[in-house]
Every structure is written in C-alpha cells, then in structure tokens.
Amino acid sequence: MITVNKNLCKGCGLCTEFCPIKIFKESEEPNEKGINLPVLDKEEKCAKCGLCSLICPDQAIKVDEED
C-alpha cells in the first residue's frame, strides 16, 4: 500500500515521473494550497521497489511492503 502525505507533498512530480510502472498521475485540480498532488492510478501494479519513497525530496511517500 502506498500513502502520500498530503501535508508534506509539494507537488514536484518526481514520483510521477520516475515510478517505472507509472502508478501516479498528477491530480487535475490543485488542492487548497495550489498543489497538484499525485494521485494513485494503478496501485495494484506497484512493484514495491521503493523508488518513489527514496526519490521524494520531502519524504511524503510511504510504501508498505506488507500489503
């Protein structure tokens, strides 16, 4: 299971760009802070490689390997 902390994410898009399976897509509407948060699109295909969590500069992504 992947969780994106909406309070930490700044919408840089690195996770969307670098996930090898393209799990994320950018939300179409910005939130109240004007940030386009990444939206989980195909979470069931996640390989749990942890790249998104490693690459996120704000430690906003948690990949739970148990699920």
CB 37 within 8 A of CB 5: no
Tokens representing residue 45 in the block: 């295909």
CB 66 within 8 A of CB 48: no
Q: Alpha-carbon distance 62 to 50, whole Å?
A: 8
* Per CB under 6 A, 25 contacts ligand SF4: no
* Per CB under 6 A, 10 contacts ligand SF4: yes
* Per CB under 6 A, 63 contacts ligand SF4: yes
- Given 6, 25, 48, 62, the residue binding ligand SF4 (CB under 6 A): 48
Using CB under 6 A, list all residues that contact ligand SF4.
2, 4, 9-15, 19-21, 23, 38, 46-52, 56, 58, 60-61, 63
